[in-house]
Amino acid sequence: MRRKIPLSIAFIFGIIMIIQFFIPHRISVEFYRNMLNALVIVGIFYYILAVTSLIRVHRGKIKRRKPGWGYSYVTLISLAVTAMVGVLGGAYQPTRITAWFIEHFHWQIEQGTGLMVIYTYIQIPMGATMFSLLAFFIASAAFRAFKARSLTAVLLLLTAFVVMLGRVPIGSLITRNLPDNIQLSNIVEWILNFPNMAAQRGILMGIGLGMIATSLKIILGIERGYLGGGD
């Protein structure tokens, strides 16, 4: 029961969606659209799990006074405030409440809604900063990993070195006086277009086969780890 019902549901919908791909008829297109909508609707309810889990973990930390429990308040309060602002005041467009405030109190919200203000000045800057940490990490990773330990490591190191050199103007000065087709920038382009592309294609084909095989195994109920145990 506990396994058979879910497995047959996965089987039925998997097969239906494969067949759907080959049918251009209006009924099939309509069905596809409704399926996409249904998947989004089911997805709404994930957030009940998400928020409950987050609150549980942080409440547990606060209760047991675990190290750093004070920060759990930061998470919980900022979650509550942001969700309130977004649900009451609107996400991308203002709700009627926000519109009323704008009209009667002459509020000026450049971004449209309170949520977008929070998004623009808190979430985006922090996200962009996390992203830019990569500039530092890519340097430390290069320093540590690019050592000529073995033949494969040498290949990795050399191509990275040459491509990096080819990306800066100073690099192209080195080969300035050489014939056109061994100019550094042309070499780099060739590496990117041929050996690099070749390996990428090989890897991608492998991934494709792996994905197709796993999808088939899921549909046929052979791959069932994601459902957990029981019968």
Partner 1 sequence: MNILLVFLFLIQQTPDSLPVDTAQVTEIVRPAPPTNVIAKDTPNDAGGSISVEWDISADDGKGLKNVNLYNVYKSKTEEGKFDYVGTVGAARTSYDDQSVEKDNKGYYYIVKAQTKEGVESEPSNISSGKSQAQWFHHGRWAYLILGVIFTLFFVLYIRMAKGKKLFIRKIAGLDAVEDAVGRSTEMGRPVLFVPGIGLLSDIATIAALTILGKVAKKTAEYETRVIMPNYDPLVMSAAQEVVKQSYTEAGRPDSFNEKDIFYLTQDQFGYAAGVDGIMLREKPGAIFLQGIFYAEALILAETGHSVGAIQIAGTDRVTQLPFFISACDYTLIGEEMFAASSYLSRDPIMMGSIKGEDASKLVLIIVIMVGTVLGILGGLHLGLFENWFSNLINWFARG
Partner 2 sequence: MKERKGLIFGSVILIVVFIIMFIKGEPSKNIMVWIAAILTLSIYSFLYKDNVFYKFAEHLFVGVSVGYSVSVVWQNAFIRRVFDPLFITRTYIVDGKFSLYLFLAIVIPTLLGMLMVSIFTKKHGWLIRIPIAFVVGSYAGMGIAPSFQAYIFEQTQSTLYVTLSISSFIMIVGVITTLVYFFFSKEHKGFLGKTAGVGIWFIMVAFGASFGYTVMARISLLIGRMNFLLHDWLGVIK
Partner 3 sequence: MRFWEKVMKLDRRWIFLLIALAVLIPFLKPLRLPLTVTKPARDVFDAIENIAPEGAPLLIATDYAPSTAPELDPMLYAMLRHCLSTKRRVMLLALYPQGAGMAQAGLDFILPEFPDAKSGVDYVFLGYQPGIQAIVMYLGEDVRLAFPTDAYGIPLDSLPMMKNIRNYDDIALIVDLAGSSITLTWVTYAVARYGEHLAAGVTAVSAAQYYPYLDTGQFVGMLGGLKGAAEYEKLIQEKGYTKAREIATIGMDAQSIAHLVILFLIIIGNVAFFASKSHKKKRSTAGS
Partner in contact with 173, chosen from partner 1, partner 3, partner 2, none, beta carbon below 5 to 8 Å by kind: partner 3
Interface mask toward partner 3 for 19-58; x: CB under 8 A: ----------------------------------------
The stretch among 101-109, 125-133, 173-181 that binds partner 2 (CB under 8 A) is: 125-133
Nearer to partner 2, 6 or 102 (CB): 6
Residue for token pair 């919980």: 76
Residue 193 engages partner 1 in binding (rule: CB under 8 A): no
- By rule CB under 8 A, what string of x and - marks binding of each residue 112-131 to partner 1? -----------x--xxx-xx
Q: Which does 57 bind (CB under 5 to 8 A by kind): partner 1, partner 2, partner 3, none?
A: partner 1
Nearer residue to partner 3 within complex by CB, 67 or 169: 169
Contacts of 176 (CB under 8 A, 6+ apart): 183
Contact 96, 104 (CB under 8 A): no
Q: Which two tokens mark 116?
A: 């977008």
Residues 62-91 that bind partner 1 (CB under 8 A): 67-68, 87-91
Both tokens of 67, joined, read: 């190290």
Residues 212/18, Cβ–Cβ less than 8 Å: no
120/123 with CB nearer partner 1: 123
The alpha carbon of 164 is separated from its chain's Cα centroid by a whole number of angstroms, namely 27
Range 43-62, binding partner 1 (CB under 8 A): 43, 46-47, 49-51, 53-54, 56-57, 60
Sign of the CA dihedral 12, 18, 21, 23?
A: negative
CB 218 within 8 A of CB 10: yes
Closer residue to partner 2 (CB): 103 or 231: 231
User: Token pair for residue 82?
Assistant: 């942001």
Binding-site partner at residue 96 among partner 2, partner 3, partner 1, none, CB < 5 to 8 Å by type: partner 1
Nearest of 111, 106, 108, 137 to residue 122 by alpha carbon: 111
> Restricting to residues 173-212, which ones interact with partner 2 according to CB under 8 A?
190-209, 211-212
The torsion defined by the Cα of 196, 201, 204 and 209, in degrees rounded to 10, comes to -150
